[in-house]
Structure 1
């Protein structure tokens, strides 16, 4: 059957390799329990990073490239890479899914571009609907049920989903996260379906526009039940579920070692040398 652009090419996925990458060895039936385990395994095993952009290389969203980078070479990626790969996994296992685009707000009042990727997911025989957000870099650990006012505590990390009314009386969903400053709206989204091609368009902006923060400096995240590490340029922040945080500055030359040891992002020697230069390489 020809590819009509509506699916995620789950049949082409090396499922065994992916499941080994995230440490999953449980039941593969498309149930809510399986979905929770897959989501937790993905978010805690595959880091968030934009280093290919900083190293002057394009971000490609075809499944073979994503498997090679995120699975075989054990690198990380940003939301479009994570979510596209996770969509292929869910499709392969028999879950129902709709891709969505979100606007990252982080408490800002002004309009932001829809440059974040999330999934609306269902399991056969179960009436519940789930928000899966494996590509933000800071959780949640597990899916959140799509219901107005849903509030979850996942190993101390707190999230809340709220439904509002958007433009033209459309439903607007807001994901909040609790931190040191209290509840903050993290991103907003509608249920307008997106497809793989839409993610390619959004990813092109994020990875090439001078207005995108990801084209300006290295960025990486590593999230777990116990701690959230963030590298923004040369600023390394460590946050825990209780809101306590530590921030320190590191030398550019320290980045390759820090990325490998803390963020679990291995770089080959040539890339490590380039990233450790005093200034980012030109693109």
Structure 2
């Protein structure tokens, strides 16, 4: 068993003798969502690194940090490869439902395609609080998890041939577009994700290079921390606290395990 495989299993609480199968992916995606925070603290601190297998392992599994989509999904991808899954990385263009428009940042979202028994599925553990927590088939079928309803719909556009759509539990009453992706345009090498990192870190329109943000699913909802507020969702009810820098550091340590901020 590889070091990454061992550390990943330790992090999500998965025994070494438990086999990764299609039927266990729901459990793995759930555990991964709760274990790894979606956060941009390295960007804010100007401490970003190249996207490599070793760097991702050191950052997330050794230093117990989190990451954004181009870090969290490649880490899951490497774990699945180590366990014999047929997976590839893809890139997508995110949709802004408030503005009813695409992000226009380029293909800055990284996700995973899985092939199983001749069918393709979308896996994603790097989309903030919008995680399906289950493999989503590319045939339009709706899957339901504790986080809501999700489907992948065929849609030809300048951004690809499919879109992920979602109705988050307690938040959406209508389908929302998550992102578009091209199922035929695969990431050939993880180093390609450095292009995503460069855009996210340096582009003015990037939503991740201005203020610190950490969000993570919990067993009964999710929590989101910024430098000005802390929001907790529990069983569909939210509680928001306005905070200062000192409180931010306290909460980052208490809820997400970040020690030195």
Q: Identify the TM-score tier after normalising by the shorter chain.
A: 0.7 to 0.9
The Cα of 1:13 is off from its aligned counterpart by: 4.6
Indicate the residue corresponding to 1:4 in structure 2: none
Aligned 8 A contact 1:158 1:177 in 2:
yes
**Matched residues in 2 for 1:64 and 1:188: separation?**
29
1:118: which partner in 2?
111
Kindly tell me: are residues 211 and 171 of structure 1, through their superposed partners in 2, closer, same or farther at Cα, counting changes over 3 Å?
A: closer
Is the aligned partner of 1:224 residue 2:224? no
Unaligned runs of at least 5 residues, structure 1: 1-10, 273-283
Matches within 5 A, 1:169-180: 171-178=161-168, 179-180=170-171
**Aligned-pair CA distance for 1:241:** 5.7
Task: Please give the residue correspondences for 1:150-165 in structure 2 after superposition, counting only pairs within 5 Å.
Answer: 150-155=141-146, 157-165=148-156
Residue matched to 2:59: 69
Moved over 3 A (4+): 26-30
Which position in structure 1 is the counterpart of 2:89? 99
1:253 aligns with 2:216: no
Q: Paired residue for 2:195, among 172, 193, 201? A: 201
Choose 1 or 2 for highest CA Rg: 1
Give the structure 1 partner of residue 48 of structure 2: 58
Q: 1:39 to 1:155 in 2, by over 3 A?
A: same
The one-character-per-residue Cα deviations of 1:5-24 (angstroms, maximum 9, x if unpaired) are xxxxxx96531111111111
Question: Are 2:48 and 1:47 aligned?
Answer: no
Equivalent residue of 1:57, what SS?
A: coil
Q: Please say if residues 160 and 177 of structure 1, whose CA atoms lie closer than 8 Å, have aligned partners that are also in contact.
A: no
Structure richer in strand, relative to its length: 2
- Aligned Cα root-mean-square deviation (Å): 2.3
Flag the 1:173–1:181 CA change in 2: closer, same or farther, 3 A: closer
How far apart are 1:204 and its partner, in Å? 1.4
* Per-residue deviation, 1:79: 0.8
Correspondent of 2:208 among 193, 203, 214? 214
- More relative contact order, 1 or 2 (CA 8 Å, 6+ apart): 1
Question: Size of the alignment, in residue pairs?
Answer: 253
